[in-house]
């Protein structure tokens, strides 16, 4: 069957610009690219404990059978949500099938017509997609720039009706393309002073910050000052799904109006059980400390190189131009290091970079060898 010419043209354009994406299979290289920060995705302990948990509960069921509002809800779902509330010090929690579903569901339903959303220009694509589905007006502000945020709100105030208007401020505690963080304490003070609703995505902070990997907000002790928190499990927890934390009223609202929750089949019992076991492991593991040591080692070893400043597990080295950054990545891969290039249009032209993800299982020797290779190829 023929492909429409418009689609062919878009594919050809990407090919000419060297931006065409392709899928690749896993190779036996040293991992500096995955989001499996703690090694949970490959953990036999979590795998075996999850299986035993299901056997002990007599949960021999492959699927949820329907949406949670129909036949897909269970005591297990509610038990895991309660467990997450305790771990993250939250009044209520609602599980979603993925981080993408959580962000789509929240941002398409919570901000209302007449409201305004102000979001960091580096916010994740799933949040942008959710915002695009919202009836609220939206405005982006410069990355981690509180002064620009205040300016954008002030400039927009004349265009917006102030009657019954709510303003939502959206950011991430760790940005996936730079690995940096906003000044959350200043941002919270700003929002509290002006009665704005702060929403923080903690996808890349879970498992990385805090005594037991609770995330950056809890490490700072400010989690109760945030209207909504979003955690995804496909990174440090090594499994699937996501959760939105907030008040009981927010949870009830999302159950009723978040379309990505209402109109989708629930997670399988196995997926929900894996989330619980992963959280249990997070509270007990030494991998969080090992990851912190890995990050410290990497920062010490790269202090003379031009990496974007970061205290997270994500560290980026700018090499402008898709062709140039892809060439550098290929050279590193040929030496046995799984390092991925981040190219435009995922990030702006000229900001292409090598993205290094660190893990609890990366050794000092692997880091030193990889850095020596990087300096030799660029």
pLDDT digits (tens, 9 = 90+) for 120-152: 999 999 999 999 999 999 999 999 999 999 999
29: which residues sit within 8 A by CB, 6+ positions away?
333, 336, 337, 338
Predicted confidence at residue 325, as pLDDT, reads 94
Return phi, psi of residue 214, to 5°: -65, -25
Q: Mean pLDDT across the chain, nearest whole number? A: 95
pTM (two decimals): 0.94
Answer yes or no: is pLDDT of 162 > 90.
no
Question: CA nearest 359: which of 46, 32, 44, 28?
Answer: 32
Domains, in order of start, for the chain = 28-41+286-377 (3.90.1150.10), 61-284 (3.40.640.10)
Answer yes or no: is pLDDT of 161 > 60.
no
- The label of the residue with tokens 């299982």 reads 361
User: How many other β-carbons are positioned within 10 Å of the β-carbon of residue 296?
Assistant: 11
Give pLDDT tens digits for 62-87: 999 999 999 999 999 999 999 999 99
Predicted confidence at residue 182, as pLDDT, reads 98
User: If you average pLDDT over residues 315-342, what whole number do you get?
Assistant: 94
Answer yes or no: is pLDDT of 163 > 70.
no
Report how far residue 174's alpha carbon sits from residue 115's, in angstroms, rounded to the nearest whole number.
26
Report how far residue 214's alpha carbon sits from residue 217's, in angstroms, rounded to the nearest whole number.
8
104, 128 contact by CB (below 8 A): no
């Amino acid at each position: 069957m023929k492909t429409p010419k418009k689609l062919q043209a878009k594919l050809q354009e990407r090919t000419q610009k060297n931006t065409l994406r392709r899928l690749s299979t896993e190779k036996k290289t040293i991992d500096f690219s995955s989001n499996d920060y703690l090694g949970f995705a490959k953990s036999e302990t979590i795998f075996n404990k999850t299986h035993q948990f299901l056997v002990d509960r007599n949960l021999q069921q492959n699927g949820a059978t329907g949406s949670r509002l129909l036949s897909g809800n269970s005591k297990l779902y509610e038990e895991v949500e309660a467990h997450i509330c305790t771990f993250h010090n939250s009044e209520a929690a609602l599980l979603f099938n993925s981080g993408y579903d959580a962000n789509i569901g929240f941002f398409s339903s919570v901000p209302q017509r007449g409201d305004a959303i102000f979001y960091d220009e580096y916010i994740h694509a799933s949040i942008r997609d959710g915002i695009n589905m919202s009836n609220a007006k939206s405005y982006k502000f410069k990355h981690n720039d509180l002064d620009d945020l205040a300016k954008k709100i002030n400039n927009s105030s004349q265009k917006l009706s102030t009657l019954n208007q709510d303003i939502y401020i959206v950011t991430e505690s760790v940005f996936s393309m730079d690995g940096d963080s906003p000044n959350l304490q200043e941002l919270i003070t700003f929002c509290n002073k002006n009665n704005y609703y702060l929403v923080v995505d903690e996808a890349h902070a879970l498992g990385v910050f805090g005594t037991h990997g609770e995330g950056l907000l809890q490490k700072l002790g400010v989690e109760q000052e945030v209207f909504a928190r979003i955690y995804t499990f496909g990174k440090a927890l090594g499994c699937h799904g996501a959760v939105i934390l907030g008040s009981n009223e927010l949870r009830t609202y999302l159950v009723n109006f978040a379309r990505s929750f209402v109109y989708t089949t629930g997670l399988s019992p196995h997926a929900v059980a894996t989330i619980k076991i992963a959280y249990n492991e997070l509270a007990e593991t030494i991998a969080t400390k090992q990851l912190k040591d890995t990050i410290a080692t990497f920062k010490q070893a790269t202090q003379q190189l031009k990496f974007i400043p970061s205290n997270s597990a994500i560290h980026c080295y700018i090499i402008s131009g898709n062709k140039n950054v892809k060439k550098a990545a290929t050279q590193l891969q040929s030496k046995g290091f799984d390092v991925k290039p981040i190219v435009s249009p995922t990030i702006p032209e000229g900001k292409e970079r090598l993205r290094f993800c660190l893990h609890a299982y990366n050794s000092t020797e692997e880091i030193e060898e990889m850095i020596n290779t990087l300096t030799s190829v660029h």
